[in-house]
Amino acid sequence: MTHHINRWLLAFAAAYLFLMPTNAVRFVHSITFGSAGACAVIALFVASRNHVTRIPPAGASILVPLFAWAAWSFASLLWSVDPAYSLGQLEREVMDSLLTMLIFYVVARDARSVRVLIGAALASFACGALLAIAMDVVTGTWDAGRWHHGVGPWSTWVVLIAPFMFALIAPPPAGFGGGKRLMVAGIALLALLVVTARMTDNRVVWIALAAVFGTASLAAALRWPQTFTRTPMRWIAPFAVLLLALALAFADVLEERAGAVAPTGGVTVSIERDPRLVLWEHVRERIAERPLTGYGFGRRILAGPLAREMGDPLLAHAHNVFASQWLQTGLVGMLAFTAFIAALALRYVRFLRSRDDTLAFVGVAGVALIAGFIAKDLTDDFLFRSNAKELWAMTAFLLGYGMRRERILAAGEVPTLAGQTMLANASARPLISAGAGPVTGAPPPPPRRQSESV
């Protein structure tokens, strides 16, 4: 029974992750989400009955600020300026987000599950990107609102998906192992990423992508310094080319936006005239009026007043994820949210410092994901609807697999890096999954045949 529940959970979770970025087939969204949630609760209950299969918790450093943020957000109903709006947003943005985290934390029971989820996310991105390019070529316009949640959310999805492209070249078990076909697929995905990011006309997306790839490359170089020292050009050349492409695209968008905003003033004047600078002054004044409690949960809780003051319906929220949290839930809520994000980042750094290469790869992907999210949302707030679910899903399955991997390593059921090298040289037989032992409840395999090793 446990095996069947886990299989159904993985199928529904992968389908839901695939559908997250699209604005179509909402009924199927609901079916996959509800089914995955039910399977996750059942799988969690079944696993908890045996100490061998019990899913390790994320730890107090993560769970305490997470639930403090959620509880304080619900408490804001008591003083919200629009309780009905806040209640609806709490149901969508807090309750649904917590269930999303639970689903993807539970489903990440082994490396195969992680690969399936990463594959679903990359496939979803590829399909969406190809559809966007086709629409632009055939019709001359990309109707992002019809198929996706909008151009802004798509640019954020581009940033969130970027760290998982490294899985194509990362070694098993968490990665796909590279090879010529996967290298070609990776280059194609990178091209789709750059093209569709440019189609959004978003400036910050290039800074966020540079943060993702820069963080991942720096983390990998620090974690595997010997490899970097032996073949520096193998690391530096691709990264330099990528940064150059991102810089050129960023400059192109700046010039285009400058021509639209300030035809005679250039880039400097267009930045000085950015309406968000004025918006942030208004937001700061609003925060000063209710610094501790805020105005009630919901990104657009002050949409009416802000839009009237700014004379622009697009400037109806804070356009900074941390200022937005402060505006909604006050200093208490913002600090709890910030502590949660910081705790996630620190946990990924702990994974990165592990002697186990597989766990270190999880850490690389995690810190790159957090870096990209923060960079993208310093000038906007896309912790909302599909982007929020995507972020929480990805952080949850990285965290869930990382915690299980740590437990396996602590139990001594997976060799350390030195032991992995000795075993690889001593055995010519294909390696099999260690995750099938302690995580699923099957007897642990012999130490000489671990495929969770790198």
pLDDT tens, residue by residue, 256-283 = 655 555 555 555 555 667 788 999 999 9
Q: Is 446 left (phi over 0), alpha (psi -120 to 50) or beta?
A: beta
User: What is the C-alpha to C-alpha distance for residues 396 and 103, in angstroms, rounded to an integer?
Assistant: 8
* Contact predicate 402/366, CB 8 Å: yes
* Contact predicate 150/385, CB 8 Å: no
* pLDDT value at residue 314: 86
Mean model confidence pLDDT for the chain: 85
Nearest to 200 by CA among 147, 239, 142, 244: 142
> How large is the average pLDDT for residues 193-207?
89
Query: How many residues comprise the chain?
Result: 454
pLDDT tens, position by position, 223-250: 988 776 666 655 565 666 666 666 766 6
Name the more confident of 151 and 403: 403
* pLDDT value at residue 136: 87
User: What is the C-alpha to C-alpha distance for residues 244 and 262, in angstroms, rounded to an integer?
Assistant: 26
Is the preceding peptide bond at 173 cis, omega within 30 degrees of 0?
yes
Which of 98-112, 207-221, 366-380 is predicted least confidently? Answer: 207-221
Nearest to 47 by CA among 3, 99, 100: 3
> How large is the average pLDDT for residues 72-97?
97
Confidence band for 443, pLDDT divided at 50, 70 and 90: very low
pTM: 0.86
pLDDT tens, position by position, 121-144: 999 999 999 999 998 898 887 776
* pLDDT value at residue 267: 53
